[in-house]
Amino acid sequence: MPDVWENTRSRWESVRHAVDGGGPGAAVGAATLHGRLGLSVNPIAVTGEAGAGKSVLYDALTQSIRTGDGDSSRSPDIEKHATVLRSGSRRTRAAVTVIPGQLSTQRERALHDTMRGTASPQGIVHVVCWGHNRIWQRGAQRDVHDALAADGVVDQEAVRGWHLRKEAADFRLLVDAIIDGQLATRLRWLVVVVSKTDLFWDRLDEARDHYIPGPPGRESPFAALLRDLENETSLRLSVLPMASRLIRHQFLPGLPAGTSQLDDTQIGALRTHLGQELQTLITQRNED
Ligand SMILES: Nc1nc2c(ncn2[C@@H]2O[C@H](COP(=O)(O)OP(=O)(O)O)[C@@H](O)[C@H]2O)c(=O)[nH]1
Ligand SMILES: [Mg+2]
């Protein structure tokens, strides 16, 4: 296994220890929202499937939500934000574009416009959630149910598997386009943010091994794509666990709901670590 993946694993493990051990940093603000910045400063794109947690992640990183706020809603439009990331006394400006994942045509247009324009991103935050996507529309929920029912049981693991296959297929489009040099030609780094870990903290090792490349031959399709990126590009790659909000999750109507296994202090620690990582990636670009 190349060092890069061993390093990725140990970084993941150190974040886990900080969360489990109630380590330092939980109370430190990772980032704060700030207006009126040019959209070409440190452009970052947030990508990922519908319902993976992109909008809520953005809110958590900018601390514009508080425990007890209402849930998010389906975001049909591309969201553009100018942000200041703070970590200790360091401040870094970033222009963040959240690309919607709901409709493929709209998503492709948004991807295309964002990735090729003058604000072509230097960093991508790709959000995944180990199959815990929220399906917003009743009709789409029925589609998933019917597709699975045709093959066998419709339980939580089946729904999770369905999302994971879709997630990998979606990631493949992004990876292929990056490797072919079709988009994001100024790209320097990509972070895979494994969100909603509060829902599967007891199975965190499985999620880690799904997303981080391991011994060749036993990799998931997702991890194999990440390995391709490492082999074919000079991008700096990173994979980190995250939880933005503690919200119950139901895979489909009728299936039991899963509850959060973390508390506010613990998601604070996750947020701090991700904020620091983003800060490092952004400033590294400025320094080299
Ligand atoms: N438990 C939990 N639920 C989350 C988390 N992040 C998002 N969610 C849930 O997932 C839903 C979809 O998140 P959202 O950010 O709107 O997804 P987007 O479509 O990728 O923008 C939210 O309404 C929340 O219910 C998280 O970290 N933990
Ligand atoms: Mg959204």
What's the token pair of residue 173?
């489009």
User: What mean pLDDT is predicted for residues 160-186?
Assistant: 89
Closest CA to ligand 1's atom 19: 51
275 lines ligand 1 (CB under 6 A): no
Statement: residue 217 has pLDDT above 90: no
| CATH label of the domain that carries residue 163 | 3.40.50.300
pLDDT, tens digit (0-9, with 9 covering 90-100), for 178-208:
998 877 778 999 999 999 999 999 999 999 9
Average pLDDT, the chain: 84
**CA 268, CA 242: separation in Å to the nearest integer?**
10
In the chain, the number of structural domains is: 1
Residue 287: band (very low, low, confident or very high) from pLDDT cuts 50, 70, 90: low
Q: Which residue range is the domain that position 257 belongs to?
A: 3-287
Pocket mutation for ligand 1, best pick of 58, 71, 72 (most atoms within 8 Å of C-beta): 72
**CA 165, CA 144: separation in Å to the nearest integer?**
12
pLDDT, tens digit (0-9, with 9 covering 90-100), for 237-250:
999 999 999 999 99
Lowest mean pLDDT among 105-109, 143-147, 228-232, 258-262: 105-109
Give the residue ranges of DSSP H helices in the chain: 3-20, 54-61, 104-116, 138-151, 156-179, 204-211, 221-232, 264-287
**CA 60, CA 78: separation in Å to the nearest integer?**
18
pLDDT, tens digit (0-9, with 9 covering 90-100), for 152-161:
899 999 999 9
Strand partners, 81: 96
Residue 229: band (very low, low, confident or very high) from pLDDT cuts 50, 70, 90: very high
The pLDDT score that the predictor gives to residue 258 is: 94
Q: Using the structure block, give the residue that is written with the tokens 């049981």.
A: 153
Helix, strand or coil, per DSSP, at residue 115: helix
- C-beta separation of 127 from 142 below 8 A: no
What ligand is nearest to the CA atom of residue 58?
A: 1
- C-beta separation of 239 from 12 below 8 A: yes
What's the token pair of residue 271?
């947020």
Q: Using the structure block, give the residue that is written with the tokens 């574009």.
A: 97
The pLDDT score that the predictor gives to residue 34 is: 42
Which of 38-47, 91-100, 219-228 is most confident? 219-228
Residue 282: band (very low, low, confident or very high) from pLDDT cuts 50, 70, 90: confident
- C-beta separation of 270 from 246 below 8 A: no
What's the token pair of residue 87?
């970590």
Pocket mutation for ligand 1, best pick of 19, 49, 56, 74 (most atoms within 8 Å of C-beta): 56
Lowest mean pLDDT among 192-206, 229-243, 263-277: 263-277
Pick 80 or 118 by higher pLDDT: 80
**CA 163, CA 130: separation in Å to the nearest integer?**
8
**CA 7, CA 71: separation in Å to the nearest integer?**
35
User: What mean pLDDT is predicted for residues 43-72?
Assistant: 78
Does the predicted model carry a pTM greater than 0.85? yes
Write the CB contacts of 56 (distance below 8 Å, at least 6 apart in sequence).
65, 72, 195, 244, 245
User: What mean pLDDT is predicted for residues 118-137?
Assistant: 90
The pLDDT score that the predictor gives to residue 36 is: 39
The pLDDT score that the predictor gives to residue 154 is: 95
The pLDDT score that the predictor gives to residue 221 is: 96
